[in-house]
Structure 1
Amino acid sequence: ISCPHLKQLTMKVYRNINNYKECIVPLLQRLSNVEYLTLLLAINGTKKINTIRESFLKYQQESIGCTVDYFNNNYGQCQIYSFPFIGNRLDFISNRFPLFDINNAFSMVTMLLLFDDVKPFENLFFARIARDLPYLKTLEMFNGLEQQEKTIVTTNNLEFTHLSTLILFDIHMDYAEQFFYRSYLPRLIELAIHRDILLAIITQNQQKARDNCSKVEHLVTSEKLNDSVDAVRNFFLLAFH
C-alpha cells in the first residue's frame, strides 16, 4: 500500500487483533505523511502489550488513550483510541477501564460490553454508567462475581433512559437484581438472559421488575423454558403475542 498524499485516516477495528505486529505496524509505518490519524483498536494477547502502549503514548500523550488490562483467565488486552473518541461501541470493559473522566470522553457510546472476572461491578459503577453514558442502548454483561457493596447501596432508582437491549447470559444473580429491582428501564424491549436467573426474578414477583419488563417484545433465554413457559408468559405479555 502506498498513499503518499494521504493526510487523514480513520481506523475502527472492534474485533480483537491477534497479529498486531504483522497487520497494524507495517500499515502505520507507511503513513508518515498522515497529519490526522484517528484510531480505535483492541489488541489481543498478553505479550508485548506494554511495548505497544508505550509506542503510542511516546509520541501522542494527549491525543491517544491506551488501556492495558489483564484477567484471571490468562487473557490480556490493550485498547487504543484517539481523542476525541469516535466510536459508539466499547467491548470488554472492566472496572479498570477509565470509562468515567471529567471530559465525558465516552458519552456518545451506545453499545457497551462489560467483562470482569477479577472484581464485581458494584452499584456505584452502574450509577456512573447511567449518568455518563446517557445514550446507551445496548448493554451486555459477563461477570459471575457477587457484589460486595450491596449493604451500602443508597439509591434504588438508577435510570437508563435509552437502554433498549439487555444481555445477561453469564452473570451473578446480583446483576439481575441490580437492573430489575434497583433501576428504571423505560425503553427495554429486548432481553436475553440465563433461564434460571429469569425464573428467580419471576418467582420473587416484584412490581419494579414487572414494570421494567412490561415493554419487552423479544425474550431469549439460555435454555428452553419447558414447564415454566406459562409463568414467563404472564410476566412478559408482549413477548408472547
Structure 2
Amino acid sequence: MISSLKTYTTNVYSHILIFFKNLKNLSIIQPSVLTYYPGLSLCDLPSTTFSSSILTHLYINVKTFDDCVYLLDGRLRKLTTLYVNVYAIDKSSGIVQNTDKLFNLKCFTLKSLFRFEQYDNIVSLLRRMSYLEKLTLYLRIESRNRVIDGTYVQHDILDNMPQLDSFTFYICTYVDMVGLSYKLSSEDIQQTFRQQHVTSIVNYINGDIAACSIFSLPFRFDYLEDLGNKFPNIVFSYVVFLLLEDINPFKHEFFARIARSFPLLKYLRIFNKKSSILHDGMTLSSDNCQLYSSIEYPHLTRLDVRYAHRDYVEQFLNETKTYMPSLTELGVVVSHLKYVTKDFKREETRRNCAKVKKLLTLEPLVCSKDFWLYFPSSYK
C-alpha cells in the first residue's frame, strides 16, 4: 500500500505541479467522508518532490501525519492555506521537527478519522503557526492518561496564536479507565473552557475505555464516532456519517433523538451487543410495536448492524418502528436477518428492504426465492 501511494505521489501528484507551473490553488480531496482518494506519501522521497514556489492554497489527503510535516518543510514556501486529511494511524518515523515559523500560513485544517498517538507532535507543528488566523482540527487521540480539555487547548494551542480569529475543532481523547485516579465527567471538562460555544461528551465505549470529546459549536464536521446514549440536545446539521457505541443498550427514544439531531444522516453504524428488548419491552409482536411512533430517516442510504445485537435489526427493519425510504446498503448478520424477517416472509420488515441493492454479511447467504422477492433491488 505504501509503495503504491509513493508511486501515485511520484506519477500523479508531483506531475501536477510540474505541468501546471503557474498553479496557485490545488484541491485534490474527497467531497465527503464516504468517498476515497489516494493519499500523498512523501516519506523517503526527495525534498523536491511535490514542490512549488508559487502555490498558495492546497487541499489534499496524506498517508501519515509525517507527510503533513514534510509539506511544511519549505517545499511550499508561499503556502497561505493548507487543508490536510490524514489517512493512516502509523506512528511517527521520528523525523526531525522543523521549528521554523510559518510566517505565510494563515489558514490550517488538520483532520484524521483514525485514532493516533501523535498529540505532542501535532502541538509542536502548531507552535510554528503563530500567524494563523483560522484553525480547524478534527483529532482522535489515544494512549494518553489525561483528557485533552480546555486547559490543554488554551496552553498548547491558543496561547501561541495571538492572531487567531476562528477556531473550529473536535478532539476526542480515548482514556483507559484502569488505574485512573479521578472520575471523568462532561461537566468537569466543560468547566475548563472559557468559551461558551464549546461542549463536551464522555461516553464509555467498553468497560475500560472512555471516549472524551470536546468540540466547538455549531458542530461543522460531517463525521462523528463513539456517540452514546448521553449527548447534548443540539442539531448536528452537517453530519452524514455516524457511529454509535455504548456499554448500555440503545432504546427506541434514543433513535428518535438521533433522527432529530442528525437530519442529514446517510451512513449509520451501530456497535452495541446489549439487548434493547430487556430494557424497552420490545418484541416481534406487531401489537407491541404500536406502542412506539415510527421514526423516519429520510436520507439514510447505508446501515451497518453487523456488530450489534439482533434487537437493533428489529428496530430498524420493522417499519412500525423505523422507516428508511432511501436505504440501499445493509450490513447485517445473516441469522439476525432471517430471524427478524421470519425467513423473508414478514410484512412489517418488507418495505425497508425493498430498495436494498447491496447486502454486507459476515457469513455466506443462501438466496432462496423468498429472499429475491424480499430484496428485488438486489438483482444484478
**1:144 aligns to 2:273 (yes or no):** yes
For 1:42 and 1:218, how far apart are their aligned partners in 2?
A: 30
1:5 is aligned to 104
**1:222 aligns to 2:222 (yes or no):** no
- The structure showing larger relative contact order (alpha-carbon pairs under 8 Å, at least 6 residues apart) is 1
Contact persistence 1:180–1:212 (CA under 8 A): yes
For 1:237 and 1:142, how far apart are their aligned partners in 2?
A: 28
1:84-115: CA deviations, max 9, x gaps?
322111112222343x32xx2x1221111111
Tell me the amino acid that sits aligned with residue 82 of structure 1: S
For 1:212 and 1:124, how far apart are their aligned partners in 2?
A: 20
1:124-135 equivalent positions in 2, closer than 5 A: 124-135=253-264
Report the 3-state secondary structure (helix = DSSP H, G, I; strand = E; otherwise coil) of the residue aligned with 2:244: strand
For 2:145 and 2:317, how far apart are their aligned partners in 1?
A: 40
2:210 is aligned to 76
Q: How big is the shift at 1:67?
A: 3.5
For 1:37 and 1:216, how far apart are their aligned partners in 2?
A: 40
Normalized per residue, which structure has more helix?
1
- Of 192-201 and 10-19, deviating more is 10-19
For 1:171 and 1:200, how far apart are their aligned partners in 2?
A: 14
1:194 is aligned to 333
For 1:46 and 1:115, how far apart are their aligned partners in 2?
A: 21
2:141 is aligned to 43
Q: How big is the shift at 1:206?
A: 3.0
Unaligned runs of 5+ in 1: none
Q: How big is the shift at 1:180?
A: 1.2
1:69/1:202 Cα in 2 relative to 1: closer, same or farther (>3 Å)?
A: closer
1:166 is aligned to 303
For 1:142 and 1:75, how far apart are their aligned partners in 2?
A: 14
What is the number of residues matched between the two proteins? 233
1:54 is aligned to 151
1:174/1:54 Cα in 2 relative to 1: closer, same or farther (>3 Å)?
A: farther
For 2:145 and 2:150, how far apart are their aligned partners in 1?
A: 12
For 1:30 and 1:45, how far apart are their aligned partners in 2?
A: 24
Report the 3-state secondary structure (helix = DSSP H, G, I; strand = E; otherwise coil) of the residue aligned with 1:200: helix
Tell me the amino acid that sits aligned with residue 280 of structure 2: E
1:17 is aligned to 116
Contact persistence 2:271–2:305 (CA under 8 A): yes
Tell me the amino acid that sits aligned with residue 141 of structure 2: I
For 1:60 and 1:95, how far apart are their aligned partners in 2?
A: 26
For 1:77 and 1:29, how far apart are their aligned partners in 2?
A: 26
Report the 3-state secondary structure (helix = DSSP H, G, I; strand = E; otherwise coil) of the residue aligned with 1:14: strand
1:206 is aligned to 346
Q: How big is the shift at 1:63?
A: 4.4
- Of 161-170 and 64-73, deviating more is 64-73
1:111-131: CA deviations, max 9, x gaps?
111111x21111111101111
For 1:62 and 1:32, how far apart are their aligned partners in 2?
A: 24
Q: How big is the shift at 1:66?
A: 4.3
Tell me the amino acid that sits aligned with residue 374 of structure 2: F
1:180/1:63 Cα in 2 relative to 1: closer, same or farther (>3 Å)?
A: same
**1:176 aligns to 2:293 (yes or no):** no
Contact persistence 2:203–2:226 (CA under 8 A): no
Contact persistence 2:354–2:376 (CA under 8 A): yes
2:180 is aligned to none
Aligned residues with identical type, % of pairs: 33
**1:156 aligns to 2:293 (yes or no):** yes
Q: How big is the shift at 1:80?
A: 4.0
Tell me the amino acid that sits aligned with residue 151 of structure 2: E
Report the 3-state secondary structure (helix = DSSP H, G, I; strand = E; otherwise coil) of the residue aligned with 2:342: helix
1:164-188: CA deviations, max 9, x gaps?
1111101112111111111111111
1:166/1:42 Cα in 2 relative to 1: closer, same or farther (>3 Å)?
A: same
2:130 is aligned to 32
Q: How big is the shift at 1:46?
A: 5.3
1:134/1:107 Cα in 2 relative to 1: closer, same or farther (>3 Å)?
A: same
1:132/1:59 Cα in 2 relative to 1: closer, same or farther (>3 Å)?
A: closer
Q: Output the TM-score relative to the length of structure 2.
A: 0.56
Q: How big is the shift at 1:201?
A: 1.8
Report the 3-state secondary structure (helix = DSSP H, G, I; strand = E; otherwise coil) of the residue aligned with 2:153: helix
Report the 3-state secondary structure (helix = DSSP H, G, I; strand = E; otherwise coil) of the residue aligned with 2:113: coil
For 1:65 and 1:32, how far apart are their aligned partners in 2?
A: 26
Unaligned runs of 5+ in 2: 1-71, 73-100, 155-191, 283-287
Report the 3-state secondary structure (helix = DSSP H, G, I; strand = E; otherwise coil) of the residue aligned with 2:351: helix
Tell me the amino acid that sits aligned with residue 16 of structure 1: R
Q: RMSD in angstroms over aligned alpha carbons? A: 2.4
For 2:123 and 2:194, how far apart are their aligned partners in 1?
A: 16
